[in-house]
Structure 1
Amino acid sequence: MNNRSRDLSLVTFFVIGCLLVGGISGFFTTGAVDTWYPSLVKPDWNPPSWLFGPVWTILYALMGVAAFLIYREGFEKKEVKIALGIFSVQLGLNFLWSILFFNYKNLFASFVEIVVLWVAILATIISFYRISRPAALIMIPYLLWVSFATILNYTILVLN
């Protein structure tokens, strides 16, 4: 397999892996999105529910590309392993937020968790930047969206 085919296979693997995490976490939200979430008091600037799916799909795909760019720098390198470890932690925290918010309907715990997630995303971006600036930059839209989601989570917590 030549390098181009190998890279295409690897980037596909990382993107699909991230999309699967998002899809599985989305599985936990389906019932609450249709029943519990509409019953919450939300701010006027709350996006429509249909927007979250497409946005998260794009963000998970970008995360996969960013992780691939780091992996491609050489998994045998200690800094690459550390960066991908931090990335894995933030991906796990991302998954956990959906469960806390939608499954457990715990607005406070989900808010605390999303703050920790935000810090983990920032740590991921910093660790990625030291290895690949493009990988770090690709993660910026995700950080911005989670910043918005953090403010939204807090606002919903206060309103309810």
Structure 2
Amino acid sequence: MIAAERKRFPWGAGILLLLATVAAVAAGAVISFSRNDAWYATLDKPALTPPDFVFSLVWPVLFVLMAAGALMVLERAGNFERALSPLGIYYTMLAANAFWSLAFLGMQDVALALGAIAALLLLIIAMMQDFARYSRTAALIQIPYLIWVSFATYLNLSILALNSDG
């Protein structure tokens, strides 16, 4: 009788996943720190806009939860190929997240950013559904991210409405 092969964590895929997450964090940070603060300061913002420091507290926690969920899926799947769908959505979601920063803060295009964040919301929902096929916990720990991006969508839409020329 052949002994059951012990399942090993796919370290290479896990490291690449973490590096991609760090790259998305870094891209957002570079864009955020290099943004034109004078432009952002002149925007009319809704009453529920939190102070700037809140964003720098919330985002690191959310990225840790995102990566933790993706790693849980990878571990449960056993290799990248078996988790291609949820991790493909994860990588696409990371790119959409970074693109929102570029559109809103880098390009100062609030309307384009609204489109990007709407796509991001859909990607988060799809990612959570796909994560749940592998790990319910991996999906559930994305709820704070979904809530935060929903709130950010409200902020983006409100800023667009408050600053439109029409």
TM-score scaled by structure 1? 0.87
Larger radius of gyration: 2
Unaligned runs of 5+ in 1: none
Taking only the aligned residue pairs, the percentage that are identical comes to 34
Give the aligned CA root-mean-square deviation in angstroms: 2.4
Per the TM alignment, residue 18 of structure 1 is displaced from its structure 2 partner at its CA by 1.8
Question: Matches of 1:77 and 1:24 in 2, distance apart?
Answer: 27
Aligned equivalent of 1:156 = 159
Number of equivalenced pairs: 157
| Corresponding residue of 2:79 | 75
Q: Within 2, Cα distance between the matches of 1:144 and 1:42? A: 19
Per the alignment, residue 31 of structure 1 pairs with 34
Q: Judge which range, 18-27 or 91-100, deviates more.
A: 18-27
Q: Gapped runs of 5+ residues in structure 2? A: 1-6
* Counterpart code for 1:90: M
Q: Deviation per CA, 1:31-90: give whole Å up to 9, x if none.
A: 326322111100111000111011001001111101100110122553x11110011111
Q: Do 2:74 and 2:80's aligned partners in 1 also have CA atoms closer than 8 Å?
A: no
1:114–1:49: structure 2 CA closer, same or farther, 3 Å change rule? same
The CA deviation string for residues 73-114 of structure 1, in whole angstroms up to 9 with x for no partner, is 122553x11110011111110010000001110010100110
In the alignment, the residues of structure 1 paired with residue 50 and residue 126 of structure 2 have an alpha-carbon distance, to the nearest angstrom, of 27
TM-score, scaled relative to structure 2: 0.84
* Higher fraction of helix: 1
1:33-72 aligned at under 5 Å gives the runs 34-72=37-75
* Residue identity opposite 1:136 in structure 2: A
